[in-house]
């Protein structure tokens, strides 16, 4: 009975991690595809000068998307950054996201030499929003379900928020795993990245587009 129960628990753990790994790959792929679409938008907007025939537009669209799909992730970010109003804030973090995705998809989640740095470590770095308050001189981070306890008679407590980076290291030969809470944090980090990308795309009026001009 004990062995069967342990095997069942192990299967549940493996299955849960498989689901989370698949979900991680999907959100990482979504980041990549969003950058490819941004590259396409910037390329079209930059060279568009008045009306364009459908065949010419479709050919340009296919070529632009091929260029984006062929580009390595750091190169793709660099190309997109060139057309944005400001450089992306989270470029390094989302490069690490793609490296973890590659490990999950090509090596079953076991860190190989292709994934690790010179020290034999694969780093996943993700931005997050940290909420905290002060209890005397001690900073207390707010966690889900926690109760604010200022340690004194205060009825109103000021809540602070700041963007920080959470880092996780996987060593050579180690298997990448996630908990549901970790995946939720990763998914939220992706919304920060996409918000940053959209906010920095150049804006244009219809007249600007006709003249091939973006501001």
Taking only the tens place, the pLDDT of each residue in 48-102 is: 556 778 888 888 888 888 999 999 988 999 999 999 999 999 888 988 999 999 9
CA–CA separation, 17 and 14 (whole Å): 5
To 5 degrees, how large is the angle CA 169–CA 76–CA 172?
20
pLDDT band at 143 (very low <50, low <70, confident <90, very high): confident
Domain that holds residue 58: 2-125+167-210
Average pLDDT of the residues in 10-16: 81
Residue 73 lies in a domain: yes
Confidence of residue 206 (pLDDT cuts 50, 70, 90): low
Q: How far apart are CA 111 and CA 168, in angstroms?
A: 13
Run of H or E including 135: strand 121-135
Distance between CA 39 and CA 64 in Å, rounded?
Answer: 8
Cα 87 from chain centroid (whole Å): 15
- pLDDT for 94 equals 86
Instruction: Kindly report the pTM of this predicted structure.
Output: 0.74
Could you tell me if 122 and 103 are in contact, meaning their C-beta atoms sit under 8 angstroms apart? Answer: yes
Mean pLDDT of the chain: 85
pLDDT of residue 214: 44
Quote the radius of gyration of the chain (alpha carbons, Å). Answer: 22
Which secondary structure element, helix H or strand E, spans residue 79, and what is its range?
helix 73-83
What is each CA distance from 177 to 47, 107, 153, in whole angstroms? 44, 13, 43
Residue 149 lies in a domain: no
State the pLDDT at residue 46: 73
Residue 12 covered by a domain: yes
Q: Which residue has the higher pLDDT, 208 or 1?
A: 208
| Domains of the chain: total | 1
- pLDDT of res. 211: 53
Q: Does some domain include residue 59?
A: yes
């Amino acid at each position: 009975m004990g062995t069967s129960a342990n095997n069942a628990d192990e299967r549940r753990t493996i299955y849960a991690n498989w689901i989370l790994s698949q979900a991680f790959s999907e959100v990482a792929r979504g980041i990549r595809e969003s950058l490819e679409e941004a590259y396409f938008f910037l390329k079209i907007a930059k060279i568009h000068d008045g009306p364009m025939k459908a065949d010419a537009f479709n050919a340009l669209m296919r070529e632009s998307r091929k260029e984006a799909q062929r580009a390595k992730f750091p190169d793709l970010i660099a190309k997109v950054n060139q057309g944005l109003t400001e450089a992306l804030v989270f470029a390094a973090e989302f490069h690490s996201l793609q490296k973890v995705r590659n490990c999950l998809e090509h090596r079953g989640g076991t860190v190989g030499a292709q994934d690790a740095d010179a020290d034999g470590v694969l780093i996943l770095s993700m931005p997050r929003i940290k909420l905290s308050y002060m209890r005397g001189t001690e900073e207390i981070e707010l966690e889900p379900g926690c109760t604010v306890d200022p340690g004194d008679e205060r009825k109103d407590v000021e809540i602070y928020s700041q963007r920080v980076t959470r880092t996780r290291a996987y060593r050579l030969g180690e298997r990448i795993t996630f908990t549901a809470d970790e995946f939720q944090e990763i998914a939220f980090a992706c919304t920060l990245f996409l918000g940053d990308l959209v906010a920095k795309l150049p804006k244009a009026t219809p007249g600007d587009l006709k003249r091939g001009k973006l501001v």
